[in-house]
Amino acid sequence: MKRLISAAILIPLIAYVIIWSPQPVFLGVVVLLAALCFYEYCGIVAGHGVEINPWLGMVPGLAFLFVEWHHALVTTLIALVLMTAAMRKDDLTRCLPFASALLLGLAYVFGCWRSAIDLRAASPWWLLFAVTINWVGDSAAYYVGVAFGRHKMAPVVSPKKSWEGAAASAAASTLYGTLLLHFLIPTVPPWQGLVFSVVANAAGQIGDLAESAMKRGAGIKDSGNLLPGHGGWLDRVDSTLFSMPATQLLLALFY
């Protein structure tokens, strides 16, 4: 019930922010969500024995979101700064894990949320596609997995996930995504809509497993408790963080 109530509140709010909100409001929400996700990421990393002050990632995180330089240059410069900062640690055996985990978190969280800004700039419908396609897939995977799941997909990472659920997720997401693009962005040919949907769903399923692997390695069930019935924000958007850059990459390739 908590999960349904949270979804009923979040879905209209997210639709408004993506489609109709003024740009400053949209950017403010992106910054807030990125900050919350990074805070939860730092909690997961702590379970792996690497302590990161979340505030340390906010300034370079904003660079990932808003600096218009070439992204590879931004990443390289931030990596060099982090390596330099890590040398201040008394225990030098912690330098590399600290700098590596921090840089990964910046790319994983802020880098992926940068794709949200770029996708909305292309069209709010592209961002709506990338955000919602795995919501449909997750629902299909859950119900089919509970009813028919027999073959474990990744028993070590996520014991409840099955290949039957993954197939249902792919089928439902592909149908939803192809139809969504057909009606909302008619210039997209059906075959491209199919490609976008398959790739975005596959990326989302990998993103879900990636976050599950990090949490299982840290010995925790949820990334946080801010969303009743869902866990933390990172639990809610783990698939979206992968599907947004995947969608942006295809946009760059096709257009």
Cβ 176 vs Cβ 183: under 8 Å: no
In the chain, the largest separation of any two C-alpha atoms, in whole Å, equals 58
As a whole-number percent, the residues of the chain with pLDDT over 90 amount to 55
Residues 208-238: tens digit of each pLDDT: 999 999 999 999 988 877 766 667 889 889 9
Q: How far is CA 222 from CA 26, 142, 156, 159, 184, in A?
A: 26, 17, 16, 15, 35
Nearest Cα residue to 46 out of 232, 220, 227: 220
Residue pair 247/115 in contact by the 8 Å Cβ criterion? yes
> For residues 237 and 194, is the Cβ–Cβ distance under 8 A?
no
Q: H or E stretch including 134?
A: helix 124-148
Q: What is the spatial distance between Cα 70 and Cα 82, in angstroms, rounded to a whole number? A: 19
Lowest mean pLDDT among 23-37, 49-63, 80-94, 183-197: 80-94
Q: How far apart are the C-alpha atoms of 158 and 216, rounded to whole Å?
A: 8
Q: What does pTM read for this prediction? A: 0.91
Amino acid at residue number 97: P
Own/partner pairs for 118-127, CB < 8 Å, 24+ apart? Answer: 118/248, 119/244, 119/247, 119/248, 119/251, 120/18, 120/26, 122/251, 123/185, 124/18, 124/19, 125/19, 125/180, 125/181, 125/184, 125/185, 126/185, 126/247, 126/251, 127/18, 127/244
Compute the CA torsion angle 246, 143, 176, 131 (nearest 10 deg): -40
Residue 240 has pLDDT above 60, yes or no: yes
Assign 72 to helix, strand or coil. helix
What are residue 3's phi and psi, to 5 degrees?
-65, -45
The whole-number pLDDT of residue 56 equals: 85
Local confidence band at 139 (pLDDT 50, 70, 90 cut-offs): confident
pLDDT higher than 90, residue 151: no
Tokens 């995504």 sit on residue: 177
Q: Using one digit for the tens of pLDDT, what is the confidence trace for 51-87?
A: 888 988 888 899 889 887 666 777 788 888 887 877 7
Q: Which of 42-46, 106-110, 139-143, 241-245 has the lowest mean pLDDT?
A: 139-143
